[in-house]
Structure 1
Amino acid sequence: MPHEPQPQAPDELDAEAVRTWSSLALAALGRAREDIDAINVYPVADADTGTNLYLTAEAADRGLAEAFPGVTDGTGTTSLAEAVRAWAHGALVGARGNSGTILAQLLRGVADVLGAEQPERSDPAEHGGKRGPGTGGLLARALTRAAEEAYAAVAHPVEGTMLTVAGAAARAGEAAGDAAGTAVEVARAAYDGARAALAETPGQLAALSRAGVVDAGGCGLVVVFGALWQALSGQEPAAEPVRGRAVPVPQPQDPCAQEEDGPAYEVIYLLEATEAAVGELRERLDGLGDSLVVVGGDGLWNVHVHVDDPGAAVEAGVVAGRPYRIRITHFGDERRRARGERAQRAVVAVVPGEGLAGLCGEAGATPVLVRPGELPAAAELLDAVRRAHAREVVLLPGGAELRAAAAAAAEQARAEGVRVAVIPTRSAVQGLAALAVHDPEGSFDEDVVAMTAAAGATRYGELAVAERQSFTSAGICQAGDVLGLIDGDVAVIGAGLTETAEAVLDRMLGSGGELVTLVLGPEVPDAVAERLEAYVQHGHLAVDTVTYRGGRYSAPLLIGVE
């Protein structure tokens, strides 16, 4: 149930103040999201800044509510430190887009200070009826830390963006705090400083000047600072909080024509890694693309980058640590959305590995990464269908265990007006075969038939390591044995990966085939692929072989025979 903002004592800076700030910011961003989307021209004119800020604020609010439900009904005893850390963590794991990722880091900066220090409590009579300098100074330090961390998170900071607005707000708040201002006075100063800075952004960034708009991310940040002031003062910001050119204005005829020559993909993922590994990751990603923002800390990071090679960006994360919740978005889809258009057709593919996710993204599909033991729910598949932003969607579940979730997601998408077909792929290699014949220009029915036929004509094999002694269709296996599965059933029990793979290939190619697809797991050396390719060529001269890296979470070896 949505949190209803509670009346605050004057200048109170506690857990309930954070909860109220969160609720007010979410509601205000919800009201402003369309206007903010409409003025989004930098760094990519994809008309989603308002939406990304709203979704990030929603994730932050949800994280706070779920972690500390007592805060929502006034019965909890959650501390300020606990509340603000939960809020920032929710934003980190749910950050969307460039603007949402920066907002998450701003909230982390606030949490770094409010989560480590406690406001001083003094007699209001000692300060002219005000609560005293403690809360104001603490809030000022938090806003300053937030701006510093946001600037540090962006590989190449650009002025005229939400970073500029955050910095101006922090300086104004710091000045008020130095003057022994209360938290309310610091919040008001920060809000006014943000508004003034936003009004100046068209003069700082050529893309904004050409379009006649202020920075969209900065506009959203003004909304967040307005919510902070309202949470502490009880006074609602004016309906037109920004002066002059900060009022949203109509976009030019084709705002999306800008930046068309930039990177083709946006890649976002959460990453578990050390700070040292993340430092190396920044350097690697900076050489791959632009709009690089890496936020977080304490072992958990949110990585955002625009690249032409999404697979390389994901693999860089694999080298650094453990990436998950990977989102790959093609800007062609986003630009169509900015023009109010839907793609005619899209493909959503569930894949067990970052390398496969990148491969599907390069092929134009929207990938959904599945990790062992963590199958995506229908809601996650539905979200991927929505992100594909197409009138028609082909869904490749990649496993029999996902058919029910895929069917439920398809049913809900159809209720929303999207035509969806679920192709019952049972393996990622069947999905790759279907993608290979996908024809987005042909009729929907013919495309679905062709993709279904390609998937159905692909026999699939998988190598796995037995975890315990058990009975299989090929006999009794012991822990550590290599199991060779064909079409879902154990067909071979072997001692080594390569030898077992050769036995599986013999059986699969016994009934013929023209193409063998090998998908190697993260621990399998290249020498295994080279040996298997040579083995196929030696025994089946007319059969071609292609090899891919599945990446982390993929099986030791997947085999497809078409």
Structure 2
Amino acid sequence: MHDLDAVAVRRWADACVRSLDANREAIDQINVFPVPDGDTGTNLLHTMQSALDALLRAPMSGVGEALSALAKGALAGARGNSGVILSQALRGLAEAAKDLSSLTGTALRQALHRADELATAAVSNPVAGTVLSVLHAAAEAAKDTSTDELDEVVTAAAKAGAEALAETPRQLAVLAKAGVVDAGGRGLLVLLDTLAAIVTGKELATLPANIVPRTLESLTTDREAGSAEFEYEVMYLLDGTDEVDQLKIDLNQLGDCVSAVGDGDGLWTVHVHCNDIGAAIEAGVRTGRPHRITVQRFADQIAAQASRFVRDRAIVVLASGAVDLFRAEGASVVDLARDVTANDLLSTIAGTRARHVAVLPGDPDVRDQLDEAIAYAVAAGQDVVVVPTFSPVQALAALAVHDPSRRAGDDVVAMAEASAATRRGELEVSDREAITWVGRCQPGDLLGMLDGEVVLIEPGPASPENLCDLACRLVDRMLGGGGELVTLILGEACPGGLVETLEDHLRVTHPEVEVTAYPGGQPDAVIFVGVE
């Protein structure tokens, strides 16, 4: 590849998220500096996922705009020192690629140099033997490359970063004592290797082999700096100001590991380790408008690594029907037949006590509550991913392919693909007058819905004959695009004989199709229909 365009940037960002997910636990295990809180891999993954989400919402354009979207998303979702530094590294790439349609070898050289400058400036007391050393070595190697070919520049940068990472135990006694390399540096190298793989089309495995899990002694290692111990990590976003110099001074008087970095467009991420949480937040209030405030107690984080999670994987299903069916399949279930709050959802997610949780919503109407619950769960250390499902039948299809022996990221992809391959239908009775795509409906009319839109209307009142007839017409319409399996989830109002009537109908019109029905008991939909 001669250069890197916006499409390749999206591929790189997606690959970074998948690679960080695969390496997250290993990076967490070697995290001993500046505090042994075991969350560097998790923080990098969360920050990069936030960056990718922002990029996917941005319009497809030049590489500069794509990298800018990544940088802004990383800053808004930055967690921990490592997340802040990553956001500034991406900002450096974005600034160097501004107004470019693609990233060349020359531009990458400039981008790594700018990333090195911004990341170093983001840390109040830069220390050798950290992620900054790895980034600086990569930038210097890129600068010294004799060619402008992108593949050679990025390969040289990644290899130099690997060499610098292997040197980190010799630069920091705390790393040598624990027998590990710097966790943040390893995370950065994952991103550099991924970029090299995207550019060259070849895997570049440069991670040093001398990485071992943390020992019990390393978990209680004092921070390298000579300052007093600080119990809390405080982070928040800040806007409403263009100047943060005084804020940095105030925070340095309260604690250490201070950073206040911006996206160049008025948004700042503030980070400090301190004991006085209120004073750290008040300093932000005096400067601008702090929001998205998070507080972590290091002792809690360390203890949580050993005791909080009792299993690796869990599935949480949000559904208004087939609750017993989902539970029988091993999922934790939130019954949407009752009013559900964010606290209810958070209680279920946290109650799984699983490190990785995949959520199958089953109903788009709970999105706001779910977003709030997930934000709290992620802030507390769980890895929570939402699989796009909009009906219990899609959630059932996703759960059917769930395989806990697969890597978490691959399992989520498989469930998402199964959900997307399932067309969703619904038969319900209208409770109000409304205008639909196929005309006006009145209260009591029967509605056939496909992918959330009304496609069939049968005048009320509802009768078993009308319901059976409309169910046959709806399934025929759904099978117009093909399909081999029809799944039905039967609600409280489903008349007896509907399944048999539909089976008799399909034996004539679609003899190749198999029908499977489950009692759901949902109070709203007469039936949910899935076609695969």
Structure 1 length-normalised TM: 0.55
Distance 1:343 1:54, change over 3 A: closer
Q: How does 1:300-315 map to 2 (within 5 A)?
A: 300-315=267-282
1:321-350 deviation line (CA, Å, top 9, x unaligned)? 011000011111111023x12399xxxxxx
Alignment match, 1:293: 259
Distance 2:293 2:164 in 1: 34
Name the SS of the counterpart of 1:55 in structure 2: helix
Alignment match, 1:136: 105
Q: CA deviation at 1:35?
A: 0.8
Distance 2:241 2:179 in 1: 43
Distance 1:410 1:25, change over 3 A: same
Distance 1:37 1:411, change over 3 A: closer
Contact 2:26 2:213 in 1 (8 A): no
Q: Does 1:250 align with 2:216?
A: no
Alignment match, 1:162: 131
1:238-293 deviation line (CA, Å, top 9, x unaligned)? 3xx23353xx21322232212386200000100004332x1111111111111112
Distance 1:417 1:211, change over 3 A: closer
Q: CA deviation at 1:231?
A: 1.2
Alignment match, 1:461: none
Equivalent residue for 2:78, pick from 83, 95, 98: 95
Q: CA deviation at 1:237?
A: 1.9
Name the SS of the counterpart of 1:157 in structure 2: coil
Distance 1:273 1:88, change over 3 A: same
Name the SS of the counterpart of 1:325 in structure 2: strand
Alignment match, 2:122: 153
Distance 1:341 1:408 in 2: 22
Name the SS of the counterpart of 2:116 in structure 1: helix
1:156-207 deviation line (CA, Å, top 9, x unaligned)? 101100000000000001112xx23211111101101100000000011111
Q: CA RMSD in A?
A: 2.2
In the alignment of these two chains, the number of paired residues is 323
Q: How does 1:355-374 map to 2 (within 5 A)?
A: none
Contact 2:63 2:100 in 1 (8 A): no
Q: CA deviation at 1:104?
A: 0.8
Amino acid of the residue matched to residue 5 of structure 2? D
Q: CA deviation at 1:416?
A: 4.6
Alignment match, 1:341: 307
Name the SS of the counterpart of 1:249 in structure 2: coil
Q: How does 1:36-47 map to 2 (within 5 A)?
A: 36-47=27-38
Distance 1:199 1:264, change over 3 A: same
Q: CA deviation at 1:36?
A: 0.7
Q: CA deviation at 1:118?
A: 5.1
Distance 1:161 1:417, change over 3 A: closer
Name the SS of the counterpart of 1:275 in structure 2: coil
Structure 2 length-normalised TM: 0.58
Distance 1:323 1:35 in 2: 33
Q: Percent identity?
A: 45
Distance 1:222 1:411, change over 3 A: closer
Contact 1:11 1:233 in 2 (8 A): no
Equivalent residue for 2:176, pick from 209, 216, 232: 209
Q: Does 1:259 align with 2:242?
A: no
Q: Which moved more, 1:403-412 or 1:265-274?
A: 403-412
Q: Does 1:326 align with 2:293?
A: yes
Q: CA deviation at 1:406?
A: 2.0
Alignment match, 2:390: none
Distance 1:171 1:415 in 2: 46
Q: Which moved more, 1:40-49 or 1:59-68?
A: 59-68
Distance 1:414 1:37, change over 3 A: closer
Contact 2:234 2:296 in 1 (8 A): yes
Alignment match, 2:140: 171
1:487-514 deviation line (CA, Å, top 9, x unaligned)? xxxxxxxxxxxxxxxxxxxxxxxxxxxx
Equivalent residue for 1:62, pick from 45, 53, 57: 53
Distance 2:215 2:203 in 1: 32
Q: How does 1:270-281 map to 2 (within 5 A)?
A: 270-276=237-243, 278-281=244-247
Distance 1:193 1:201 in 2: 13
Alignment match, 2:154: 187
Distance 1:249 1:235 in 2: 26
Contact 2:62 2:101 in 1 (8 A): no
Q: Does 1:26 align with 2:13?
A: no
Name the SS of the counterpart of 2:166 in structure 1: helix
1:58-91 deviation line (CA, Å, top 9, x unaligned)? 11111111223xxxxxxxx522121111111111
Amino acid of the residue matched to residue 255 of structure 2? G
Name the SS of the counterpart of 2:282 in structure 1: helix
Q: CA deviation at 1:300?
A: 0.3
Q: How does 1:529-544 map to 2 (within 5 A)?
A: none
Q: Give the unaligned 5+ runs of structure 1.
A: 1-9, 69-76, 120-133, 345-378, 380-401, 419-562
Distance 1:50 1:417, change over 3 A: closer
Q: CA deviation at 1:18?
A: 1.0
Contact 1:63 1:87 in 2 (8 A): yes
Q: CA deviation at 1:93?
A: 0.5
Distance 1:333 1:182, change over 3 A: same
Distance 1:417 1:173 in 2: 42
Contact 1:270 1:300 in 2 (8 A): yes
Distance 1:236 1:27 in 2: 14
Contact 1:336 1:343 in 2 (8 A): no
Alignment match, 1:372: none
Distance 2:38 2:171 in 1: 20
Alignment match, 1:316: 283
Contact 1:289 1:306 in 2 (8 A): yes
Distance 1:291 1:60 in 2: 23
Distance 2:4 2:350 in 1: 43
Q: Give the unaligned 5+ runs of structure 2.
A: 311-317, 319-338, 356-532
Q: Which moved more, 1:161-170 or 1:13-22?
A: 13-22
1:27-79 deviation line (CA, Å, top 9, x unaligned)? 111111111111110001011111111111111111111223xxxxxxxx522
